[in-house]
Amino acid sequence: MTGLPTPTALALPGDALTLVHEDAAFVVLDKPAGLLAVPGRGPDKQDCLSARAQARWPDALVVHRLDMATSGLVILARGLAMQRALSMHFEKRRVHKRYTAVVAGELRNPDPANGWQTIELPLMIDWLNRPRSIVHAEHGKPSLTRWRLASPQHGPGTRLELEPVTGRTHQLRVHLQALGHPIVGDPLYASEAQRALADRLLLHAGWLALPHPVSGAPLEFHSPCPF
């Protein structure tokens, strides 16, 4: 994998974005917590990462998303052909992502060497309580998350490195809640006391690796964790 330069601030109309990578095929942006990835319903939910990006790159198209409360790396394709190529990368699991999270309580890795552990619980949308998702043995889709302890450990809770193998809605958040360790600051899945430990969801998409959709060259992108 080839490391890339530290993200640089890029001023755009209305606000600023952090540009991590730009070429003729795609851009990688560092989304702040609290900003929608795509427009929501209503005029008050039109400011979002994709709209800001399209003010600079009119051909920018969504390939994947992050929750509004999650910060970190997002890829936008340049044009329909690159959107199809990158979407195929995601479908074939050629794109690898890692997150940093802080979860409530003390979560111990049973492996003294801190090897990757797995959470394999089927997930589905909780239609009566949208936008929440739930574990459901009968109707849930197969969902797999890998986790291990991250360093340095500091502050309340336990700092983890997370790797979603599948990409279900709120997968990391629901899987960690199912372990009994919701992500600190989570407005949907943490208790009131656990939400009060932070002023945001402590979940950040800080590492992304994929082959370039045109050249096939291996690429690796990083975003420093803001918490």
Active-site amino acid positions: 67
Interior angle at CA 20, CA 83 and CA 183, nearest 5: 90
**How many CA atoms within 13 Å lie on the side-chain side of 28?**
22
Q: How many CB atoms lie within 10 A of CB 160?
A: 24
- Give CA–CA dist 222/195, Å, rounded: 27
Q: Which two tokens stand for residue 186?
A: 């989570």
Q: How many CB atoms lie within 10 A of CB 170?
A: 20
In sequence order, the β-bridge partners of residue 8 are: 19
Radius of gyration of the chain (CA): 18
